[in-house]
Amino acid sequence: MIDFRLDDEYEELRRTVRDFARAEVAPVIGDYYEREAFPYDLVARMGSMGLFGLPFPESHGGMGGDYFALCLALEELARVDSSVAITLEAGVSLGAMPIHRFGTEEQKRRWLPDLCAGTALGAFGLTEPSGGSDAGATRTSAWLDGDEWVIDGSKSFITNSGTDITSLVTVTAVTGRGDDGGKEISAIIVPARTPGFAVAPQYSKVGWNASDTHELSFAECRVPAENLLGERGRGYAQFLSILDEGRVAIAALSVGLAQGCVDECLRYVSEREAFGHTIGRYQAVQFKLADMEMRTHTARLAYYQAAAKMLRGEPFKKEAAIAKLTASNAAMDNAREATQIHGGYGFMNEFAVGRFYRDAKILEIGEGTSEVQRMLIARELGLTPA
């Protein structure tokens, strides 16, 4: 029997995060956003709630849940604010998950308890200034000098990389050449504040203004040889698998933003009057909201299916790409329509939909652009490029 109802444990988590988002995030996040300040107190509260440890085993400080639980939390947070949601998403899927998936037992014991508690944040340095979607064009290099890796290069657009509680950044680097002459790319853990590791000033961004994003540079940065994460030469392949999971999480976040647009508009159209009626009485507005709800509903089903296949251990690359593409499109379209429904007020930062509009665009870019998602879907259909 097909049943899309959530079990009691998932529903309780959803309610708990929704209450937190509405009661504690919503009243204060606009101020953080305008000041472009990182919300340390909200992150600490999420840590105490166990959100950063949701998909990790209790043996390493986690909550013993699964990745779908994380997705539900992300959706509820993003209904109110995406900066807080992306801080959680990146902290879990990009910061802690690679260590959980590929780390040694010693690496897990050292790093995961604080990452799961939210008292520390991790980041993953993949993208480079000249690379963009072509992550295989990595130029950052690392070589062994005795019992140390020496790292040179730079990374760009790295979330959670420069906060006061950032404890590590895992970076991909060229560590040699394979038998076919191609680049051997490995992943290496670099603790924060390691000599030779520099964090540039915070980017000035269009959206996600209460999240932390920096360019990173490495100049003869030395870390112990045992900081290699996973197998040497498997760093790129490892991260591709992490990206598949991350796309499901970004889809959930996108659904949250899309649903938040519906929520805000339903409140607004029941109060705003024009030409003698609340504007929710007019069919043009009703049709916009019907389309917004349709997009949100469809995108939610897409990420639910992708998450279900992931948890069953089935191949889910195509479903993850479909979910990410569908949901990010829904978020962008809903944010545009929500701003239109609000009229001039939608252009004011004091209204949540203005923030949603600024935040939505990056969802069509981050963790694989919409073009990359289409490319992945086509490949999964058996189509090859000319």
Q: Which residues touch 313 (CB under 8 Å, ≥6 apart)?
A: none
Q: What is the pLDDT of residues 44-99, one digit of tens each?
A: 999 999 999 999 999 999 999 999 999 999 999 999 999 999 999 999 999 999 99
**CATH fold of 8-121:** Butyryl-Coa Dehydrogenase, subunit A; domain 1 (1.10.540)
- Parse the chain into domains and list their residue ranges: 8-121, 123-231, 237-380
The answer to whether residue 367 is catalytic is: yes
* pTM for the model: 0.95
Whether residue 133 has pLDDT greater than 60: no
Nearest to 157 by CA among 125, 188, 116, 111: 125
pLDDT digits (tens, 9 = 90+) for 326-362: 999 999 999 999 999 999 999 998 899 999 999 999 9
Return the CATH superfamily for domain 237-380. Answer: Butyryl-CoA Dehydrogenase, subunit A, domain 3 (1.20.140.10)
What is the spatial distance between Cα 206 and Cα 252, in angstroms, rounded to a whole number?
21
Q: Which amino acid is at 187?
A: A
Q: Per CATH, the architecture of 123-231 is what?
A: Beta Barrel (2.40)
Can you give the pLDDT at residue 1? 62
Identified catalytic residue from 89, 215, 264, 367: 367
Q: Which residues contact 124 (CB under 8 A, 6 or more apart)?
A: 90, 94, 95, 98, 158, 169, 170, 171, 239, 242
pLDDT digits (tens, 9 = 90+) for 180-224: 778 899 999 999 999 999 999 999 999 999 999 999 999 999 999
